[in-house]
Structure 1
Amino acid sequence: MYRTLIGVLSAALVVAFAPAATASPAPRAACPERPGVARCLTTYTPGAVRALADGPAGWGADDLASAYRLPSDAGPDTVVGISIAYDAPNLEADLAAYRAQYGLPPCTTANGCFRKVNQQGLAAPLPEADFGWAMESTLDVSMVSAACPSCRLLVVEGNSPGFADLAETEDTAVRSGATVVSNSYGARESGASLALASHYRHPGVTVVASSGDAGFTAASYPAVLATTIAVGGTSLARDPSSARGWTESAWLYGGSGCSAYIAKPSWQKDTHCGKRTVADVAAAAEDIAIHYADAGGWLPANGTSASAPFIAGLIARSGHVPAPSDVYAKASSFTDITAGSNDPAGAGKKCGGDYLCVAGPGYDAPTGVGVPNSLSGF
């Protein structure tokens, strides 16, 4: 009797604690958070990887072109700098797979479109490789390509995700000809990081940064800087019943916050944050297709690390060099996002239902003034 009871209980425990056969793996941070350094803002689901023959999973360049009404002409050959940490050894090959899949023209070292350098601007030696940051690099070059197929890509790889190393990549990108620089990384603002703010301020250059992937929380650096266009995230979906054909809502994990340090810029008029509010604009940040050979092929990635380089590419394609204030001056040129929240704890509980974490008509912190409507806002 005793042995039978033990057997029944053991079987019950196996059923209770065994993973469900249909359960999907949880999204994983490509770059786990570490104190004192920035982290890349990408998450992915390992079980969602698909072989090249099976094609992409997630929104591709053609979907993004449709959703944001991008022009049919390729645009100028503006240099877009991508500030990143560590080396991505297969970056050019992964980019080639992405661009071939979506019919974008080749962008290679040989044709002068693609260039990868260290933080001093030299082709060698490059930093050590890192799986997570290399995935981030792949997402960055893919999103700039989707937004601006004709743009040239300059990837500047820092020795580490330390604030000083990343600041040097910023200066190197500008010195090497970039007029738009994309930053898909972040860390909680602090005195240590803000001491390097001047490296994200260059006359005649637009600096773009991801707003973060932790929902409504402390403002993220360098997005919080008043010289930076901070990019939030949305969830994109098809909507055949609408004239646009697409609908968007605030991405649940897209970053927003109220600075504890940066003074309120004169061009930012929201009233519930006495200092700089993040974000300024937004774009799709969920289920973005990339090809990353080190993970096995095609996989969907998430993060404002997708929306920031996409916005950087659109700015480069526009041929202009907007400052953050210009985005607010042209707020009516963006598509306003009025649904969703970036409060994973529950719709707006963390901010009391306020615009700081709930999307609504006009400016809100998760999506800023809205998402692009072609290039008109830039």
Structure 2
Amino acid sequence: MRTTHPVRSTAAPGHRRRLTAAFVATAALALSGLGTAAHADTATPTAKATWTATPCATPKHHGELACDSFRVTGGLTAFQKQQAARTGITPKAADATSPSGYGPSDLQSAYGLTSAASSNGSGETIAIVDAYDDPNAAADLAKYRSYYGLSACTTSNGCFTKVSQTGSSTSLPSADSGWAEEESLDLDMASATCPNCNILLVEAKSATTANLGTAVNEAVKLGAKYVSNSYGGSESSSDTSYDSSYFNHPGVAITVSAGDGGYGAEYPAASKYVTAVGGTALSKSSSSRGWTESVWKTSSTEGTGSGCSAYDAKPAWQTDTGCGKRTISDVSAVADPATGVSVYDSYGVTAGWYTFGGTSASSPIIAGVYALAGTPSSGSYPARFPYTAAGTSALNDVTSGNNGTCSPSYLCTARSGYDGPTGWGTPDGTSAFTG
């Protein structure tokens, strides 16, 4: 079992989450809604935004993993600033009455998915694996999809299914408001990227590796070919056994968040069988693409994860020479809360619209891209796909920013070609995600 905590440092991976008295006080404030940390907005450096880790980032019990999401609680997001520039009207910060982050059309535009999203994905199932129950998952998903003009995805039409880690649709885990926010984020991002996909939500009874891993197995058993996991924790010597027990599923694209604590390896992102997804800051630009990206880094303890695994072997298709074992990440997508995504959520908070960031957003986005690309061939490991010649040429290479200090520097600093924080880059269509 492993324990995780939301405060992280740039120390060695095995020592990145030491609980201190200061953290206990900060966590108590955050859980009560009274604690916020101010950070510079990456889209406009002179502006300020504030956000806190969602309550699910504080594990409820010893040995639980943390979900990798942040909910913006103040300031203006990149989306709101773009709206203000266009209309001349400054929006209200932290206003839950309307979306304040990027929506489906923005993400599809940024990642070259507009055509694929309209025509692909029918019959494909994306599984979302999270801990605990979100009683409002179906209703909140319906609100999100209706607002953005996406087709209905409900239990009655067979598009949306929610089950426990045993596959039961009636005997579900206990509810948790923090993880409910995480589930809303994951479901909405899967919808945004692949509107025609079916969605299977598998809820583990707690956030331990064993229960979340059992939920992954259940998702595959129920037929999902794309499984998104937005959680992680410190590495341990047990990880190689977890690999074989829960994540070795040939022919299934399993995506995992790289983490939100800056430089340092996390598990299960370190598994050689999964696609580890890093995070970027995404903003509109005057380039031919219309968008620009850099490594997401808010502070020394908040930013995309990356690094060199201490335990997991390097997969055959990964050839970087500065890490003898598994290197994180493989690819990336938007994760910076200041350039975050819109999510509708109503359980445990005022029902309404919120802006979220964290690599919890980037993992289901990439799972959706895999689904748009089509069913992986039997026996394949889809984590390999972006490493092919066709794959590397069909990604937006992110070449600026870092998530910490390290040696060799590419493990924490963007460069041309492969680097740890962003992998080979972000989607430019679906070609990099097909075998």
Instruction: Calculate the TM-score normalised by the size of structure 1.
Output: 0.88
Taking the aligned partners of 2:210 and 2:324, their CA distance within structure 1 comes to: 29
Q: Select 2:67's aligned residue among 40, 52, 68.
A: 40
Cα pair 1:179 1:204 within 8 Å, conserved: yes
Cα pair 2:58 2:66 within 8 Å, conserved: yes
Structure 2 match to 1:99 = 145
Q: Select 1:209's aligned residue among 248, 252, 256.
A: 256
Taking the aligned partners of 1:41 and 1:50, their CA distance within structure 2 comes to: 23
What is the SS of the residue equivalent to 1:165? helix
Taking the aligned partners of 1:293 and 1:352, their CA distance within structure 2 comes to: 44
Change (3 A) 1:229 1:24: closer
What is the SS of the residue equivalent to 1:220? coil
Taking the aligned partners of 1:194 and 1:43, their CA distance within structure 2 comes to: 29
Residue 421 of structure 2 corresponds to residue 373 of structure 1: no
Q: Select 1:67's aligned residue among 88, 110, 117.
A: 110
Cα pair 2:239 2:311 within 8 Å, conserved: no
Cα pair 2:105 2:114 within 8 Å, conserved: no
Structure 2 match to 1:15 = none
Cα pair 1:182 1:207 within 8 Å, conserved: yes
Taking the aligned partners of 2:238 and 2:170, their CA distance within structure 1 comes to: 29
Aligned positions of 1:101-140 closer than 5 A: 101-140=147-186
Structure 2 match to 1:279 = 329
- CA deviation string 1:250-279 (max 9, x = no partner): 111011010001122221111111111000
Structure 1 match to 2:417 = 362
Taking the aligned partners of 1:277 and 1:163, their CA distance within structure 2 comes to: 20
Question: Which 10-residue stretch deviates more, 24-33 or 248-257?
Answer: 24-33
| 1:324 to partner: Cα distance | 1.4
- CA deviation string 1:90-129 (max 9, x = no partner): 1111111111121111100111000000110011111111
| 1:71 to partner: Cα distance | 3.5
Cα pair 1:183 1:308 within 8 Å, conserved: yes
Taking the aligned partners of 1:323 and 1:212, their CA distance within structure 2 comes to: 20
Cα pair 2:57 2:68 within 8 Å, conserved: no
Change (3 A) 1:193 1:87: farther
What is the SS of the residue equivalent to 1:266? coil
Q: Select 2:341's aligned residue among 284, 288, 291.
A: 288
- Based on CA coordinates, which of the two structures has the bigger radius of gyration? 1
Residue 197 of structure 2 corresponds to residue 144 of structure 1: no
**Percent identity among equivalent residues?**
46
One-letter amino acid of the structure 2 residue matched with residue 63 of structure 1: D
Structure 1 match to 2:387 = 328
| 1:312 to partner: Cα distance | 0.2
Change (3 A) 1:88 1:361: same
What is the SS of the residue equivalent to 2:410? coil
Structure 2, gaps ≥5 residues long: 1-36, 39-46, 75-92, 298-302
What is the SS of the residue equivalent to 2:323? coil
| 1:74 to partner: Cα distance | 3.4
| 1:195 to partner: Cα distance | 2.5
One-letter amino acid of the structure 2 residue matched with residue 335 of structure 1: N
One-letter amino acid of the structure 2 residue matched with residue 129 of structure 1: A
Q: Select 2:399's aligned residue among 328, 338, 345.
A: 338
Q: What RMSD over aligned residues (CA atoms) do the two structures have, in Å?
A: 1.8
One-letter amino acid of the structure 1 residue matched with residue 364 of structure 2: P
Taking the aligned partners of 2:51 and 2:228, their CA distance within structure 1 comes to: 28
Residue 336 of structure 2 corresponds to residue 268 of structure 1: no
Taking the aligned partners of 1:95 and 1:367, their CA distance within structure 2 comes to: 29
Q: Select 1:317's aligned residue among 362, 372, 376.
A: 372
| 1:233 to partner: Cα distance | 0.4
Taking the aligned partners of 1:30 and 1:140, their CA distance within structure 2 comes to: 16
| 1:325 to partner: Cα distance | 1.6
One-letter amino acid of the structure 1 residue matched with residue 402 of structure 2: S
| 1:183 to partner: Cα distance | 0.5
Structure 1 match to 2:306 = 256
Instruction: Calculate the TM-score normalised by the size of structure 2.
Output: 0.77
Structure 2 match to 1:13 = none
| 1:25 to partner: Cα distance | 4.1
What is the SS of the residue equivalent to 2:113? coil
The alignment covers a number of residue pairs equal to 349
Taking the aligned partners of 2:205 and 2:382, their CA distance within structure 1 comes to: 29
Taking the aligned partners of 2:412 and 2:164, their CA distance within structure 1 comes to: 37
Aligned positions of 1:291-310 closer than 5 A: 291-294=344-347, 295-296=349-350, 297-310=352-365
